Amino acid sequence: MSSLTTDPRPTADSRGPGKGPGPAAVGGVLARVGGQNLGLIGALILVVVLFGALNENFLSLTNMRVIAEAATITGLLAVVQTVVVICGGLDISVGSQVGVASVVSAMVFTSTGSNAVVGMAAALGVGVLVGVLNGLVIVHGRVNPTIATLAGLAAYKGLAQLLSDGRAQGYVLDDDWFVFLGRGSIAGLPVMVWILAVVAVVVHVLLTYTDIGRNIYAIGGNDTAARLAGIRINRYLIAVYALIGIVAAVAGILLTARTGSGQPTSGSEGLELKAITAAALGGCALRGGKGGIGGTLLAVALLGCLENGLTVQGINSFWQNVAQGVLLVVAVVVQQRRNAERAVGLPD
């Protein structure tokens, strides 16, 4: 009889007291965390334990704060790089955008009689313009995103150097707003970390729980199908690159606050490699349609601990670039294997 039909799956009661969660529950937790993230957590623990054993100062609260602050700017760029990669694009110009925003924030601050709000607003405005320009070149110029933003990398770097004459500009650490952003704390955590957390949560909610996020995944997964479904791809692409410009400007403002002056290249050079590496390590498929903010933040933490650990050990900083390059290749190889894609130039 139908009224006597029962669910054959085991319940918590059927396992008896003290048995703990069954395989299905464990599998559910693992599925939610994701194999990629579990691998990153394991690697992060290994790096922390290794450098903690080699140097007792590595695990000090002071050094943890240094790692968190140093990783914030990379984290901001990696979060928005995740969005554009999911959408099927790429932005190699983010580091140069940070440099332009940093210089503009300091120069406008100085020229307006130490008005921090105006300086920050000017940097954000430049960020929007630069991001929209990238989007317009890609969409209406029909230029490959890699080529378009590679051009932007050179152009925006040159712009920052022209504006600043290649030198650090201004001094902002006599202003309470910049000091608060660069040196302040809330509930024991640096303000910079709180800013990263807010941006990450907003972007995660946008990607996970809104139609906008679902459309971004759809565009990256199959832009033809997305177009046939009525999604206005061009508008989305321009908006995504504008978002990158805004967040890069925030990162530029934080760089100014952290260093005390506008930096045309120092502190911003190489950020694009870190952001792309973090997104790839975090599980973003570079062909689009796959990725998430949680994995990206874990990758940012891993890169930050690795970079700081090498520095604390007195290892030549050039090895940090080697490590980043190796990690990027490893991340892409893992993606290729996981997706069972044919090796380039080799038979099936």
| 339 domain residue, yes or no | no
| 330 domain residue, yes or no | yes
Say what the pLDDT of residue 215 is: 96
Distance between start and end Cα atoms, the chain: 53
| 26 domain residue, yes or no | no
Global pTM reads: 0.85
Say what the pLDDT of residue 332 is: 77
Say what the pLDDT of residue 246 is: 97
Say what the pLDDT of residue 333 is: 80
| 12 domain residue, yes or no | no
Say what the pLDDT of residue 340 is: 58
| 275 domain residue, yes or no | yes
> What CATH number is associated with residue 237?
1.10.3470
- Distance separating alpha carbons of residues 13 and 274, to the nearest angstrom: 49
pLDDT truncated to tens, each residue of the chain (348 aa)?
A: 444 444 444 444 444 444 555 555 545 544 555 566 888 899 899 999 999 999 888 999 999 999 999 899 999 999 999 999 999 999 999 999 999 999 999 999 999 988 999 999 999 999 999 999 999 999 999 999 999 999 999 999 999 999 999 899 989 989 999 999 999 999 989 999 999 999 999 999 999 999 999 999 999 999 999 999 999 999 999 999 999 999 999 999 999 999 999 999 877 788 999 999 999 989 898 888 899 999 999 999 999 999 999 888 888 777 877 887 888 888 778 766 766 555 555 555
Q: Quick one: which of 66, 115, 77, 114 has its CA closest to 99? A: 77
Which residues are within 8 A (CB) of 327 and not within 5 positions of it... i.e. 6 or more apart?
A: 277, 281, 303
Say what the pLDDT of residue 140 is: 94
Q: Tell me the two tokens of residue 70.
A: 């140093």
Q: In which domain, by residue range, is 294 found?
A: 41-334
Q: Tell me the two tokens of residue 218.
A: 């759809």
Say what the pLDDT of residue 197 is: 96
Task: Count the domains in the chain.
Answer: 1
| 64 domain residue, yes or no | yes
- Distance separating alpha carbons of residues 273 and 269, to the nearest angstrom: 9
Backbone φ and ψ for 189, nearest 5 degrees, come out as -110, 145
Say what the pLDDT of residue 341 is: 58
Q: Quick one: which of 104, 144, 153 has its CA closest to 272? A: 153
| 137 domain residue, yes or no | yes
Per the CB < 8 A criterion, the answer to whether 127 and 186 are in contact is: no
- Distance separating alpha carbons of residues 21 and 55, to the nearest angstrom: 38
Say what the pLDDT of residue 7 is: 43
Which residues are within 8 A (CB) of 180 and not within 5 positions of it... i.e. 6 or more apart?
A: 191
| 277 domain residue, yes or no | yes
